[in-house]
Amino acid sequence: MAKKAKRQREIVTLACADCRQRNYTTTRNKRKHQEKYELSKYCRFCRKHTSHKEIR
């Protein structure tokens, strides 16, 4: 039987920097991007584009 390969991508949750609501989930490569994600996304609670940071 073949062994299962370790998954290189992990699921991360993005939270709005202004209101702290958890709005998005995405995946990232653990080996290539070891720092935390920070993306500009639309927050439906703030009703504007804000910075969203990765939380664990």
20: domain CATH number is 2.20.28.120
Q: Can you give the pLDDT at residue 17?
A: 94
Residue 3 belongs to some domain of the structure: no
What's the structural domain count of the chain? 1
Is the entire prediction scored with pTM above 0.85?
no
Rounded Cα distance, 43 and 20, in Å: 10
- As a whole number of angstroms, the distance between CA 26 and CA 6 comes to 18
Q: Residue 5's pLDDT is what?
A: 63
Does the residue 16 lie in any domain? yes
pLDDT for position 34? 87
- Type of residue at 14: L
Amino acid at 12: V
Residue 17 lies in a domain: yes
CA nearest neighbour of 27 among 46, 47, 40, 8: 8
In a domain, 4, yes or no: no
Query: Quick one: pLDDT band at residue 1, thresholds 50, 70, 90?
Result: low
Give me the pLDDT at residue 26, please.
Answer: 92
Least confidently predicted of 5-9, 20-24, 45-49: 5-9
Q: CB under 8 Å to 11, separation ≥6 — which residues?
A: 25, 26, 27
